[in-house]
Amino acid sequence: MSMTSFALGRVQVTRVVEFEAPTRPPSAMFADLDPRVWDDNRSWLSPDFWDPDAGLLITRTQTFVLRSEGVTILVDTGVGNDKPRPLLPLFDHRSTDFLDRLAAAGVVPEDVDMVVNTHLHADHVGWNTRLVDGHWVPTFPNARYLMPRADYDFWQPGNPHPARMRAANENVLADSVEPVVRAGQAVLWEGCHDIDGGLRLEHAPGHTPGSSVLTLRSGTDRAVFVGDILHNPVQIIEPEANSCFCEDPAAARATRRRILDRAAEQGALVFPAHLRGRSAVRVRRAGSSYRIQSWAPFGEQA
């Protein structure tokens, strides 16, 4: 199942899956995490999030479509087609039917009013653009693209600061960000940015300097779309565990705890970018850690 929907207050949330695939061993993704954690939690981490037989984690790239106050919003745009990613073989020159899947959710590119990039990694900005007659052009011609300025500045070629992902993120600015900027469709925001009365972007640094979360408040419902603050639900029970992609490990841990604390207090649904299964989760505090309270009502697992 590539697409499922439900309502949060007056906001309709639809999940559109681009693709999913095995990635890397848990020890490569979460080097500081005790290997026993995986076996101790095998009953619920397998098979959706970890394939113990293959010894690999499983990831999904997906876009969340929000319909709020008459506006259609995409949260993250996946890997995209035809993108040159020489150091990321899983992402290199892909060809998927993502736009067909988006259309099955009732959205054609011209319908999109707003695109949110929670951060500017290759697997969150890919469908910002598509290749037309040898040129990268914005996929969503009528949309404003909300991008964190801190990430835009950080990934500039002349930025001297070291970056874990600089080589792997090669070409991303050139083919998936700058064409949107040149088209006059980019909004480079800082601090926080209100989209409407119930949707707000907030700076949540650590994974990247500009990483952000999108909070939702509608009626009595609360949710937060957290991008890569959580790559895998194991980080809910082990919140000190960073992925190998986090640029500032200390800030990433502090951000993760802050967002999970608030989600637990509010009973908010947490939507990480790459979760398989039902894609979203409610959490509760458990001492200095957290536990899964319930999964999102997305229906059947994909």
pLDDT in tens, 208-264: 999 999 999 999 999 999 999 999 999 999 999 999 999 999 999 999 999 999 999
Instruction: Give the residue from 115, 71, 81, 123 showing the smallest Cα distance to 101.
Output: 81
- Alpha helices by DSSP H, 10-60: 26-29, 36-40, 42-45
Q: Is the pLDDT of residue 9 over 60?
A: yes
Q: What is the mean pLDDT of residues 94-123?
A: 97
Q: What is the mean pLDDT of residues 67-79?
A: 97
Q: Is the pLDDT of residue 297 over 90?
A: no
> Quick one: pLDDT band at residue 298, thresholds 50, 70, 90?
low
Are 167 and 209 in contact, with CB atoms under 8 Å apart? no
User: Whole-model pTM?
Assistant: 0.96
Tens digit of each residue's pLDDT (9 = 90 or more) over 11-39: 999 999 999 999 999 999 999 999 999 99
The mean predicted confidence, pLDDT, of the chain is 94
Query: All domains of the chain, ordered by start, with CATH?
Result: 3-295 (3.60.15.10)
**Which residue type occupies 214?**
L
Q: Is the pLDDT of residue 299 over 70?
A: no
Q: What is the pLDDT of residue 4?
A: 82
Q: What is the pLDDT of residue 3?
A: 58
Q: What is the mean pLDDT of residues 185-190?
A: 98
Per DSSP, the three-state class of 249 is helix
Q: What is the pLDDT of residue 300?
A: 42
Q: Is the pLDDT of residue 50 over 70?
A: yes
Are 76 and 273 in contact, with CB atoms under 8 Å apart? yes
Q: What is the pLDDT of residue 165?
A: 80
Query: How many Å apart are CA 84 and CA 165, to the nearest integer?
Result: 15
Q: Is the pLDDT of residue 302 over 50?
A: no
Q: What is the pLDDT of residue 160?
A: 78
Query: How many Å apart are CA 236 and CA 283, to the nearest integer?
Result: 8
Q: How far is CA 41 from the centre of its chain?
A: 24
